[in-house]
Structure 1
Amino acid sequence: MKTNTLGLPIKETEKLIEDLNTLLSNFQVYYQNLRGLHWNIRGKRFFDLHLKFEELYNDSQVKIDMIAERVLTLGGTPLHTFSDYLEHNRLKIGKNISKDVEAVQLVIESLTDLLKVEREILNASDAIDDEGTNSMMSDFIKEQEKTIWMLKAWMEEEI
């Protein structure tokens, strides 16, 4: 089996790069959704949610950079056009959402969909002993599961 400089199998790593680019695209859509929610939220919970959405989009911006850098580390090229993002997107696109419950529900759904992609990547990276990607996905999953739990608590829903 041919391996790259990192000692990872080339063919499997190429597939992993594709999957990471899918995650990158979905995070870009998630980020833009959060910006829209931050700008358009209205109502009595405005101050709390305005700040929360800002916190979430700042966090997603950091993760976007981490994913792109992982793609580069593995020898790939990160996707970087809006057309690429939309082509690889699996998330619902939120437009003109200003109601608190609808906004939080969109975030929960987006995080749930991101978790699916991240778990696919985690399984693939684990299969080739790619600890760098494993560690990143594990960290993302742990944080997002906690965020979902907190948002579900805000919605007064069970996990």
Structure 2
Amino acid sequence: MTTINIGIDEADRLKIADGLKALLADSYTLYLQTHNFHWNVTGPQFRELHLMFEEQYIELATAVDDIAERIRTLDVAAPATYKEFAKLSSIKEVEGVPASAEMIDLLTKGHEQVVKTSREVLKLAQAGDDESTAALVSDRMRIHEKTSWMLRATRK
């Protein structure tokens, strides 16, 4: 295989990939949390939340693939173990099964954290003139901002 030459300085490419690794870890942790809550939600809003969480974890499954493939496109290995994700993620695992209202609050915070992580990666991508990563991360931010708004709206 030849050396990568996509017009991004190697140091920038590696910084961007490191940022994307954190974004991947946050996204995967949020995916697992959302899937857990989909399986275990109970209460008067069961059907609504069960279906909403399903939509969210399906979207996140696609997102983690897109993020991991972008890391690979930058010629860096993508993290792919629970141990690596736990070390890289800003979102902590949840013990037990919280009540549905707490599930909503935890997922809201999780989506907001992914937005914050995305903002950091966006800065790296812009500084490195990496439009492809910037576009991916901008799309992720928009989706997570909208999802956190929808989750907050269920608590009003």
The bucket for the TM-score relative to the shorter chain is over 0.9
The amino acid across from 1:130 in the alignment is D
Aligned 8 A contact 1:16 1:125 in 2: yes
The amino acid across from 2:133 in the alignment is T
Gaps in structure 1 of 5+ consecutive residues? none
Length-normalised TM-score, structure 2 = 0.94
1:72-123 CA deviation, whole Å, 9 max, x = no partner? 1111110011110111111032233342210100110001111111000001
Match of 1:32 in 2: 32
Deviation of 1:26 (Å): 1.4
Pairs within 5 Å for 1:3-18: 4-18=4-18
Gaps in structure 2 of 5+ consecutive residues? none
Aligned 8 A contact 1:122 1:137 in 2: yes
Pairs within 5 Å for 1:102-117: 102-117=102-117
Rounded to whole Å, the distance in 2 between the matches of 1:92 and 1:128 is 30
Rounded to whole Å, the distance in 1 between the matches of 2:57 and 2:32 is 8
1:8-41 CA deviation, whole Å, 9 max, x = no partner? 0110110111111111111111111011101110
Aligned 8 A contact 1:42 1:98 in 2: no
How many percent of aligned residue pairs carry the same amino acid? Answer: 31
Aligned 8 A contact 1:125 1:133 in 2: yes
Rounded to whole Å, the distance in 2 between the matches of 1:146 and 1:140 is 10
Larger relative CO (CA 8 A, sep 6+): 1 or 2? Answer: 2
1:115-159 CA deviation, whole Å, 9 max, x = no partner? 111000001101111010010111111111111112111111xxx
